[in-house]
Amino acid sequence: MENLLDKVVSLCKRRGFIFPGSEIYGGLANSWDYGPLGHQLKQNLKKAWWKFFVQERDDMVPLDTAIIMNPKVWEASGHLENFSDKLVECKKCHHRFRIDHLLEAKTIEPKYDKEQPDKELSEIECPDCGGNLTEPKDFNLMFKTFLGTNEDTSTTAYLRPETAAGMFVNFKNVLNTTRRRLPFGIAQIGKNFRNEITPGNFIFRTREFEIGEFEYFINPKDWEKTFEMWLGEIKRWWQDIMQINMDNLVWHELKGDDLAFYSKRTLDIEYKYPFGVKELHGIAYRTDHDLTRHQEFSKADLSYVDPETNEKFIPHVIEPTFGIDRMLLVSLLEAYCEEDLPAVASAKEGDGETETRVVMKFPKHLAPIQVAILPLSKKEELSGVAKQIASDLRKNFLVDYDETQSIGKRYRRQDEIGTPYCVTVDFDSLEDKKVTVRDRDTMVQERIEISELKNYLLSKF
């Protein structure tokens, strides 16, 4: 669809999914706030992710670790040394750019070689003013802060750039307290911070974002079959739970220099965004690299003894990682639909003219509002019944109540935020004790007994 991203961004602002951050102060570049519907959608996504990958399995345990950790953690993980992007600066306007983005714009494959910087770079000018660019320099992406009142190197700490480290440093704690045997996983969802040089494309790349990821600890002899098992589960997640068009995913096996030296297999799961095919999330077999490094730097014993064979070894790990905000972006892009229908919600109504119905076709269980209660009149005799129905349903569903404007306009408003079911209460309801339930996707209406409404709706989710 043409201009899909613009349409989604505009709908998000208009309907309260996502607002530009700090807007009344003129905003803050690339920061976004989740509004009432966006927050609920995110909650639903995280809940579904947690249920699928953690709650429904017998081999996963949850964790919630600190955002600020001992700085030595980032020495061991390699983030202090290597978590950087290569930057060039314009000698004239002093704007800074990521080399890979400049080269990508010219469809040149970046080489990342310190000794021999990309020679094509000398031919690239500053995209803002046409000035000459400096030689590339490393720029660490971790956000620095200070603990306490003194600001010096002894108090320097970092906001975590990923949640994984918290799970590695607690490996022994979890093992000892839960008495788990391999294979098992530790999962967490949490905020992360990266001082991205070129954030952008709405919530695709921001400086603070959430990750849901898990470390699945294994005996190395099992890595191939375990990797396949997780790939299968990831496919099931996108197909059955997120219900996306699977043709929009690209399964990119990393090869050669793109594969980290310690990894035997890594896949980037990419998505066909309106701005190009780019990473959505990943899965990596990281061998015993992380626990070995943390053992080396902390001097703690992070080995595992197999209770059956008495074999002692550092567990290996398979790490599936999901950017929650990218998942949310994909759910918005996948849900957005426009349909031409006979006019009901505008001045054209009844003229035989058409109008565009915008519908967010979220999977029903992810929709931020599940049921809308719409009385046909604001009169007390109807609104009283309708409010009671809304109040009863709130115990089981996310419910909205709306009694303003024509029913056609109210249906369209609910379609636009993806509400799967609208329940209309009319004057007949007072006599026959029934209401009309309208399905968002088919727009088919059914008359249902009020006493059966809860069970009817429960059967639909």
Note the residues at the interface with ligand GAP (CB under 6 A).
Answer: 162, 164, 194, 196, 205-206, 209, 211, 213, 279, 281-282, 321, 323, 325-326
Query: Is 28 one of the annotated binding-site residues?
Result: no
Comparison of 226 and 419: residue with beta carbon closer to ligand GAP = 226
206 annotated as ligand-binding:
yes
Residue 149, helix vs strand vs coil = coil
The answer to the question of whether 195 is labelled as a binding residue is yes
Question: What secondary structure letter does DSSP report for 452?
Answer: G
Q: Is the peptide bond before 375 cis (omega within 30 degrees of 0)?
A: no
Least separation in angstroms between residue 60's CB and ligand GAP is: 17
Nearest distance from C-beta of residue 223 to ligand GAP, angstroms: 17
Q: What residues have CB less than 8 Å from 145, skipping those under 6 apart?
A: 68, 156, 157, 158, 159
Q: Is 173 annotated as a binding residue?
A: no
Closest approach, Cβ 209 to ligand GAP, in A, equals 4
Closest to ligand GAP by CB, 41 vs 417, is 41
Report the residue number, 162 or 415, with the smaller CB distance to ligand GAP.
162
In angstroms, the CA 310 to CA 415 distance is 60
Smallest distance from ligand GAP to CB 338, Å: 27
Please indicate if the annotation marks 323 as binding a ligand. Answer: yes
Question: Smaller CB distance to ligand GAP: residue 136 or 282?
Answer: 282
The CA distance from 116 to 287, in Å, is 30
Burial (0-12, 13-18, 19+ Cβ within 10 Å), 141: middle
The residue whose Cβ lies closest to ligand GAP is 323
Among 81, 83, 92, 187, residue whose Cα is nearest residue 132:
92
Q: Tokens 């990419």 map to which residue?
A: 270
Quote the least distance from Cβ 255 to ligand GAP, whole Å. Answer: 17
- Min. distance of Cβ 360 from ligand GAP in angstroms? 21
Cα→Cα distances 323→196, 212, 261, 312, 437, Å? 15, 6, 23, 34, 36
Instruction: State the DSSP code for 19.
Output: E
Q: Which is nearer to ligand GAP, 100 or 213 (CB)?
A: 213
Closest residue by Cα to residue 416 from 343, 363, 356: 356
Q: Which residue has the tokens 């990797």?
A: 227
103 is in an annotated binding site: no
Amino acid identity at 72 = K
C-beta of 29: minimal distance to ligand GAP in Å? 13
Is 194 labelled as part of a ligand binding site? yes
23 is in an annotated binding site: no
Q: Pick between residue 330 and residue 345 the one whose CB is nearest to ligand GAP.
A: 330
Question: Whose Cβ is closer to ligand GAP: residue 262's or residue 401's?
Answer: 262
β 445-449/434-439 pair status:
antiparallel
Residue keyed to tokens 């396949």: 228
Angle between helices 4-15 and 407-417 (to 10 degrees): 120
What one-letter code names the amino acid at 322? F
209 annotated to a ligand binding site: yes
Instruction: Kindly tell me which of 168 and 397 has the beta carbon lying closer to ligand GAP.
Output: 168
322 annotated among ligand-binding-site residues: yes
204 among annotated binding-site residues: yes
Cβ-contact 166, 69 below 8 angstroms = yes
Residue 14: CB partners within 8 Å, gap ≥ 6?
Answer: none
Q: Which helix (H) or strand (E) holds 188?
A: strand 184-193
Q: Smallest gap, in angstroms, from Cβ of residue 195 to ligand GAP?
A: 9
Q: Which residues are annotated as a binding site for substrate?
A: 98, 162, 319-323
Binding positions: 98, 162, 194-196, 204-209, 279-280, 319-326
* Annotated binding residues for ATP: 194-196, 204-209, 279-280, 323-326
